[in-house]
Amino acid sequence: MSENMSPTELRRIRRKALDRLRRLAKSMDTESAHADADQALADLLTALGHGDVVEAYKAVSKWYA
């Protein structure tokens, strides 16, 4: 869980998520970028010890145009 992580590790995880999201924001394929951004946030939450939140989110029906 994030309480047990060093500040350096928390910064690394945050930076990795931000880099990934910023790269996706430049994508011309908005549908894939959206799905990939959802996964990036799920990965971030899991890395921070909130896998239960991710599982609850995955249980929600989704609709993409």
Q: Is the pLDDT of residue 8 over 80?
A: yes
pLDDT of residue 1: 62
Query: How many domains does the chain fold into?
Result: 1
Residue 64 lies in a domain: no
Q: Is the pLDDT of residue 58 over 80?
A: yes
pLDDT, mean of residues 17-30: 96
Q: Is the pLDDT of residue 64 over 80?
A: no
Residue 63 lies in a domain: no
Instruction: State which residues form the domain around 9.
Output: 2-58
Residue 50 lies in a domain: yes
Kindly report the average pLDDT of the chain as a whole number. Answer: 93
Tell me the C-alpha distance between 14 and 31, whole Å.
24
Angstrom distances, CA of residue 54 to CA of 8, 18, 31, 41, 57: 24, 18, 20, 9, 5
